[in-house]
Amino acid sequence: MAQLSEFLAVLEAALPADALLTDTADLRTYECDGLTGRRVVPAAVCLPESTEEVQAVVRACAAHRVPFVARGAGTGLSGGALPVAEGVVISLARMNRVLDVDLYSQRITVQPGVTNLQVTEAVAAHHLYYAPDPSSQQVCTIGGNVAENSGGAHCLKYGFTVNHVTGLTVVLPDGERIALGGASLESPGPDVIGVFVGSEGTLGIATEITLRLLPRPAAVVTQLAAFDSTDEAGAAVSAIVAARILPSAMEIMDRLTIEAAEAAVNAGYPEDSGAILIVELDGVAAQVEEDLAALDRICREHGAWEIRTAADAAERALLWKGRKSAFGAMGRVSQSYYVQDGVVPRTKLPQVLRRIAELEQEYGLRVGNVFHAGDGNLHPLVLYDEHVAGESERARELADAILVACIDAGGSLTGEHGIGTDKACAMPLMFGRDDLDVMQRLRRAFDPAGLANPGKLFPTPRLCGEVPGPYRQHPLERAGLAERL
């Protein structure tokens, strides 16, 4: 380990006194992110405070061929910040300053450790806000949002993180820094910003991020409709889309999730609902009113038997309360749960929900369904008890089988949680060999040595040596999934 101590000496010299952690007790607090099922203790953790310090750490890594993993708040659900045992975690927690606010151009520049909600708070007095709103927005950081191209309930209308990043300062895997974009959304040549956003830390580390801000909409109304079944609620969503109404959010919760939310936070959702649909409209008052009337009619036509409308912030918060606490609330009805994240074309929602019901029977486990219905992003919550032998493995297999059902329906592996370590081995279900090869070429163009967040996003023989459960039965797998790895 002479090499390691030499490497650590370089890091120590490059960083402030308390910015290098090597004690095992300290390192253990970084062993996983929100995907708690996988844990790896890193060799060291660095806590740089500036772009220059990040460069110094990355240069040392490049010189010693040490892999590095950038980490924000560690709230990611796909293991995108899972450490590498022989590698360094570069925590950006101390890079948490707002660097610039340009009210005229409606842009803000922040360091990566600023939380999503802090961005909006920094400009709230000027009636501006930052649109992408992951459920974890109080704690998750902008750096992580950029790495994962995060969405949220309102991305139906406002798009994902990539639609809101106009400039990046990036430290490349060789330690060089580059500046991409700026205040303008238009720059000549290939869209290098688009390459970085969503690359899950595999191309470098963003150390300054310029974001587009939006004016607060003049009017916001939230409506809750109670149905007998998710099929009915789903049909209402299809009809809303067909009527060309573009709500800022459309969320469905099923019976099990409603029960859990009621038990946990007493949200006051209508009793005996088979499903509830929460729709939020924003924009000009006249348009919101017109759309609200149409919404009401469409929901009733599709079987809604109770409709509540919230017109002020307090009432809205009440309607959202159960939805926003839905994941955590599952702790009231189940020992443990696994959150899946998949996408299906909106028209295939009923088909995939029926398949999930079959899988519940097949695996003898319960699944709660919460989803961003507008963009077909499902979040099935697979309930299990880790103290029952084999149940956590069965839960995982069931969650995998749901993902296969999403892909079979023409959907996607992830709506917003990312691929990370969790789904890297499932990438060949969605992408052909040539598609993956293009992504790998892009990656190697920036990181020929493969030091930036290895083992994430892309399937590798080391990671996927044994193809996990349900993927084995998938037609694509039979067509040679294993050999594509």
Residue 346 contacts residue 251 (beta carbons within 8 Å):
no
CB 107 to a copy of itself: min, Å: 11
Compare residues 136 and 149 and give the one whose CB is closer to a copy of itself: 149
CB 255 to a copy of itself: min, Å: 28
Compare residues 233 and 427 and give the one whose CB is closer to a copy of itself: 427
Q: For residue 468, list its beta bridge partners.
A: none
* Long-range contacts of 281-286, Cβ-Cβ distance < 8 Å, separation of 24 or more: 281/219, 281/220, 281/221, 281/222, 281/223, 281/245, 281/247, 281/248, 282/157, 282/217, 282/219, 282/220, 282/221, 282/248, 283/217, 283/218, 283/219, 284/217, 284/218, 284/219, 285/218, 285/219
Compare residues 270 and 283 and give the one whose CB is closer to a copy of itself: 283
- Residues lying near a copy of itself in the complex (CB under 8 A): 104-105, 149, 151, 159-160, 162-163, 172, 176-180, 183-200, 203, 215, 241-242, 244, 283-287, 290, 343, 345, 347, 375, 412-416, 418-419, 423, 427, 430, 432, 434-435, 438-439, 441-446, 457
What letter does residue 127 receive in the DSSP assignment? Answer: T
CB 316 to a copy of itself: min, Å: 22
H/E element holding 382? strand 377-384
Compare residues 80 and 368 and give the one whose CB is closer to a copy of itself: 80
In the three-class reduction of DSSP (H, G, I as helix; E, B as strand; rest coil), residue 140 is classed as coil
CB 469 to a copy of itself: min, Å: 20
* Backbone Cα Rg of the chain: 23
Q: Which amino acid is at 7?
A: F
- The tokens for 105 are 């151009």
Helical spans, DSSP H, in 325-451? 326-333, 349-363, 391-408, 427-430, 433-446
CB 200 to a copy of itself: min, Å: 7
Identify how many contiguous H helices and E strands the chain contains and give both numbers. Answer: 19, 19
CB 280 to a copy of itself: min, Å: 17
From CA 246, how far away is CA 226, in angstroms rounded? 20
Compare residues 103 and 317 and give the one whose CB is closer to a copy of itself: 103
CB 317 to a copy of itself: min, Å: 26
Q: Which amino acid is at 339?
A: V
Compare residues 289 and 362 and give the one whose CB is closer to a copy of itself: 289
Compare residues 355 and 456 and give the one whose CB is closer to a copy of itself: 456
